[in-house]
Every structure is written in C-alpha cells, then in structure tokens.
C-alpha cells in the first residue's frame, strides 16, 4: 500500500463506454499529482503497479468481465464499482465500495485516497444528483410608446401610416406633404428608431402602438 502524500495513485477504469474513460481522464487532469489514470493495456502489462480498479457493472461485456477478473487475480489493487447506478440498481448485489459517477472530480480523488488509506466510507462516495437549476425567467419587454421624445409628431404619423401598410404616395395624400418631404421624414424616423427597411419599420410601428388608422381619421376629420 502506498503511503499517503507519496507518489500518485495508479487507477484503471474498466468500462465498455470509451467516452467514460475519456471523460474520467479529462476531469482528473488537474489532479495528476494525486491520481494517474492508466489504460487497460498498461494495467495488464503492470498489474502489480495498480492501486485501484474502477469498473462499471451495468451492461458489462464478457470481455470487460474477463479483464476485471484477470486484473484482480494478478495484482493487489482495491476494486470499486464506479457507476451512475445506485447500489440497489446494480445487476448483482455487491459488497464492494461503490463510487458514484455523480461525484465531482475533487470528491472522487478524495474517495480514492480514503479507499487506499482505509478511511473509505460509502456515504462519502455516493451523492445524489444535484437539483436542476431553476430556469431564469424570461425578461419582460414592456411596450414603450414615446411619440413626443423619440419621434416628432410628423415622423410619428409617417411611421404609423407605414405600419398601416400605406405607400409613400398614400402617406403624401393623407398628410398633405410632398413625396420628397415624406421621404425626408422616413429617413429621419428610420435613423431614430434604428431600422433600415420598410418591413422593419412596420414591425416597430406595430410593436410600439403607432395607429395608422387613427392618423387617417384625424387627417380627414
């Protein structure tokens, strides 16, 4: 048995899912001074150097089961279940230490060290899944109508008529303006409301409550 605070623990994972091994190696990278994860080929070549054998019993293939037996028989490593499944969900009852895949990297490292030192407790190595965070409420966009400050009254009338689907000629007729004046008001209004196309102006006008029909009614009253 290695002494505490000596060389890193040597660990192998037997899991038919390659992603599980890759994921474990990734999360243990910051702890290379405390835990070294070796692949199964290296573990078979040097079984006596292993400190801990982790294995996933859920859906274990015949080849994985054979590999587990070989490593157990040729070395003196501690063996522990490493699974998402809880103790009562495992395919066969086992008295082996059970480490949950829900453990954080730091929790797993501590559990492995305690397993080696004889201080391992099952309660410390099994954790319930963290509760899902509550989704952030969608921001509420209050409809803001600011005729006086954002647009001049005439610019507001032009945008209202655009939102109502009126053409420039129709706007000219309704408001008694020349076509050039209408175009000037459109350019200045577009600049203020931050749009570049008529379709965008229609959407902005509708969203902000500009009522073209009311403008028409007022002009003809």
Residue 137 pLDDT grade (very low, low, confident, very high; cuts 50, 70, 90): very low
Domain with 54, as residue range(s), is 9-125
Once rounded to an integer, what is the mean pLDDT over residues 83-92?
A: 77
What is the number of domains present in the chain? 2
Strand partners, 186: none
Lowest-pLDDT range of 37-51, 60-74, 113-127 = 113-127
**Are β-strands 9-14 and 78-83 bridged in parallel, bridged antiparallel, or unpaired?**
unpaired
Residue 99, H or E segment: strand 98-100
The predicted structure's pLDDT at residue 3: 45
Q: In this structure, what token pair is assigned to residue 159?
A: 């945008």
Lowest-pLDDT range of 64-73, 83-92, 109-118, 155-164 = 83-92
Each residue of 163-215: pLDDT tens digit? Answer: 888 999 999 998 999 999 999 999 999 998 888 899 888 888 888 888 878 87
Is residue 134 domain-resident?
no
DSSP category for residue 129:
P
Residues 6+ apart with CB under 8 A from 100: 83, 84, 86, 125, 126, 127
- Average pLDDT of the chain to the nearest whole number: 80
How far apart, in Å, do the first and last CA atoms of the chain sit? 98
Is residue 139 domain-resident?
no
Is residue 130 domain-resident?
no
Q: Are residue 112 and residue 167 in the same domain, yes or no? A: no
Q: Are residue 157 and residue 112 in the same domain, yes or no? A: no
Is residue 4 domain-resident?
no
Q: Are residue 42 and residue 111 in the same domain, yes or no? A: yes
Q: Are residue 212 and residue 115 in the same domain, yes or no? A: no
Do 216 and 164 meet the contact criterion of CB atoms below 8 Å apart?
yes
Q: Are residue 17 and residue 118 in the same domain, yes or no? A: yes
Is residue 177 domain-resident?
yes
CATH number for the domain that contains residue 55: 3.40.50.2300
Is residue 137 domain-resident?
no
The predicted structure's pLDDT at residue 140: 38
Once rounded to an integer, what is the mean pLDDT over residues 26-33?
A: 89
Cut 0.75: pTM above it: no
Is residue 82 domain-resident?
yes
The predicted structure's pLDDT at residue 215: 79
The predicted structure's pLDDT at residue 187: 93
Whole-angstrom distance, CA of residue 51 vs CA of residue 47: 9
Each residue of 169-183: pLDDT tens digit? Answer: 999 998 999 999 999
């Amino acid at each position: 048995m290695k002494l505490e605070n000596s060389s890193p623990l040597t660990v192998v994972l037997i899991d038919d899912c390659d992603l599980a091994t890759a994921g474990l190696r990734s999360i243990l990278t910051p702890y290379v001074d405390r835990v070294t994860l070796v692949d199964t080929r290296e573990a078979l070549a040097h079984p006596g150097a292993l400190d801990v054998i982790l294995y996933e019993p859920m859906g274990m293939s015949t080849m994985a089961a054979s590999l587990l037996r070989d490593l157990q028989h040729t070395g003196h490593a501690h063996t522990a279940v490493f699974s998402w499944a809880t103790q009562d969900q495992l395919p066969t009852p086992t008295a082996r230490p059970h480490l949950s895949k829900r453990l954080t990297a730091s929790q797993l490292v501590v559990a492995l060290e305690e397993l080696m030192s004889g201080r391992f407790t099952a309660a410390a190595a099994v954790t319930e899944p963290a509760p899902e965070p509550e989704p952030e409420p969608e921001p509420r966009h209050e409809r803001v109508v600011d005729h006086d400050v954002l647009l001049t009254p005439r610019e507001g009338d032009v945008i209202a008529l655009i939102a109502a689907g009126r053409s420039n000629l129709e706007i000219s007729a309704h408001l008694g303006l020349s076509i050039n004046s209408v175009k000037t008001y459109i350019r200045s209004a577009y600049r203020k409301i931050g749009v570049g196309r008529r379709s965008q102006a229609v959407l902005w006008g509708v969203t902000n409550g500009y009522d073209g029909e009311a403008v028409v009614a007022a002009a003809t009253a």
